[in-house]
């Protein structure tokens, strides 16, 4: 385990990347702000005045789209690219695969079942749609039925995890970044050749360069395994591949007034700025970071139920506040009774497959 002097920027003496806790907490609640503060009220033709003020005076002038929603997702992707590169560098193929599956699926399965129990459109819930949603295989098909609205980002994460797993032969090489970018470029390029499920698959793979940006930052600035020239070259290449994919597949997200790229650029700048800070560990920040995955999955489900129920008896601001509190409480419970046991099980199952030598702990992977 490295000493404080050997720790990467933003890491404490135990090599936990403290700055990631701040970013995870922020990213999750930016998405909550977007959904509870703007999207759900819009469904019933209401306007949350603080959200409108932020749109008029902050996100609008800065060109940040979707009321910080996509910005929060971009931060999450950068975090994943960074921390998964860290974990993959010290884990065997089997350890990496088992830990990622148990990190993602137990909580996600709960969210899908919860959504299936409360979804209004009962015709969307049958054995086939439930199986497809539980495995994330629904994102291979058009038309798409998604019981958990934010799960599309998990599908992209799983693509990145899968590619990382199969390239574990290069676990100690920062140039596995090139493999990810070449894979993305090939899939985007050949998106229409095979047809069928390959076309929607390519649309999701096109987002993977954002995770590669986080991966580049890890190898360049945290591990110092890339020179400035290589680091800048890989970051530029990741932006270029992302731009190319958006232009080919989703050109409506290119204009400055509706740009995915502007928000990604801001997210990278924020990531780099926070990474350079020596941030103290705070119990509240750690709690919000640890519950970020659960609140990300559950806020749209729990939050909508509470918000629309409270709206019958209270003003919009009160309904949004209670929906956010309910989402956080639900996340705290599921983090304790689903996520934590699943992570402990993953560590026990993989103990025999660990590589020799110390593996420094890190933020949740």
Q: 130-173: per-residue pLDDT in tens? A: 999 999 999 988 788 899 999 999 999 999 999 999 999 999 99
Report the C-alpha gap between 10 and 125 in whole angstroms: 45
Please, are residues 107 and 333 in contact by the beta-carbon 8 Å criterion? no
Q: What is the pLDDT of residue 191?
A: 85
The count of C-alpha atoms lying within 13 angstroms of the C-alpha of 37, restricted to the half-sphere facing its C-beta, is 18
Q: How far is CA 62 from CA 65, 179, 264, in A?
A: 9, 33, 12
CA distances from 67 to 156, 179, 242, 308, 319 (A): 22, 33, 21, 21, 19
Residue 3: predicted pLDDT: 37
- CA-based nearest residue to 212, from 235, 243, 183, 189: 235
State the burial class of residue 331 (Cβ atoms within 10 Å of its Cβ: 0-12, 13-18, 19+): buried
Q: What's the confidence (pLDDT) of residue 121?
A: 66
**H or E element: which one contains 318?**
helix 316-334
Domain residue spans of the chain: 4-94+150-327
CA separation for the pair 37, 55 (Å, rounded): 11
Per DSSP, 251 falls in state G
Q: Which residues neighbour 312 within 8 Å (Cβ) at sequence distance 6 or greater? A: none
pLDDT for the residue 125: 85
Token pair of 276 as six digits: 């350079």
DSSP, residue by residue, 85-119: HHHHTTS-HHHHHHHHHHHHHHHHHHHHHHHHHH-
Listed as ranges, residues in the chain with pLDDT below 50 are 1-14, 360-361, 364-365
Buried b (16+ CB within 10 A) or exposed e, 163-201: bbbebbeebeebebbebbbebbbebbeebeeeeeeeebb
DSSP tally for the chain: helices H, then strands E:
17, 0
Residue 186 to residue 182: CA distance in whole angstroms: 6
pLDDT of res. 199? 80
CA–CA gap between residue 4 and residue 166 (Å, rounded): 33
Radius of gyration of the chain (CA): 20
Convert the pLDDT of each residue in 35-86 to its tens digit: 999 999 999 999 999 999 999 999 999 999 999 999 999 999 999 999 999 9
């Amino acid at each position: 385990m490295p000493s404080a002097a050997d720790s990467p920027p933003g890491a404490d003496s135990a090599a936990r990347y403290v700055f990631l806790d701040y970013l995870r907490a922020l990213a999750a609640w930016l998405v909550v702000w977007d959904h509870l503060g703007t999207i759900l009220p819009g469904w019933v033709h209401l306007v949350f005045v603080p959200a409108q003020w932020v749109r008029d005076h902050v996100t609008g002038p800065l060109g940040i789209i979707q009321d910080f929603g996509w910005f929060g997702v971009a931060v999450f992707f950068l975090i994943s690219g960074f921390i998964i590169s860290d974990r993959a560098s010290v884990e065997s193929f089997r350890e990496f695969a088992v830990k990622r599956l148990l990190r993602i699926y137990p909580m996600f399965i709960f969210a899908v079942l919860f959504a299936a129990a409360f979804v209004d459109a009962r015709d969307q819930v049958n054995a086939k749609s439930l199986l497809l949603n539980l495995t994330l295989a629904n994102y291979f098909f058009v038309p798409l039925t998604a019981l958990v609205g934010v799960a599309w980002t998990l599908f992209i994460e799983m693509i990145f995890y899968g590619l990382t797993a199969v390239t574990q032969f290069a676990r100690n090489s920062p140039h596995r970044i090139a493999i990810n970018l070449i894979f993305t470029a090939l899939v985007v390029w050949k998106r229409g050749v095979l047809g069928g499920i390959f076309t929607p698959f390519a649309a999701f793979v096109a987002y993977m360069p954002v995770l590669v940006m986080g991966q580049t930052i890890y190898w360049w600035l945290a591990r110092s395994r890339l020179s400035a020239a290589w680091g800048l070259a890989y970051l530029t290449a990741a932006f270029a591949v992302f731009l190319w994919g958006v232009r080919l597949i989703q050109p409506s997200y290119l204009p400055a007034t509706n740009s995915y790229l502007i928000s990604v650029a801001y997210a990278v700048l924020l990531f780099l700025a926070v990474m350079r800070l020596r941030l103290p560990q705070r119990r509240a920040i750690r709690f919000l970071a640890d519950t970020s995955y659960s609140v990300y999955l559950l806020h749209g489900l729990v939050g909508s139920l509470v918000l629309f129920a409270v709206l019958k008896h209270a003003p919009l601001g009160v309904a949004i506040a209670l929906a956010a509190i309910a989402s956080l409480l639900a996340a705290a419970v599921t983090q304790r009774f689903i996520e934590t046991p699943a992570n402990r099980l993953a560590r026990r199952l993989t103990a025999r497959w660990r590589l020799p030598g110390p593996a420094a702990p890190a933020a949740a992977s």
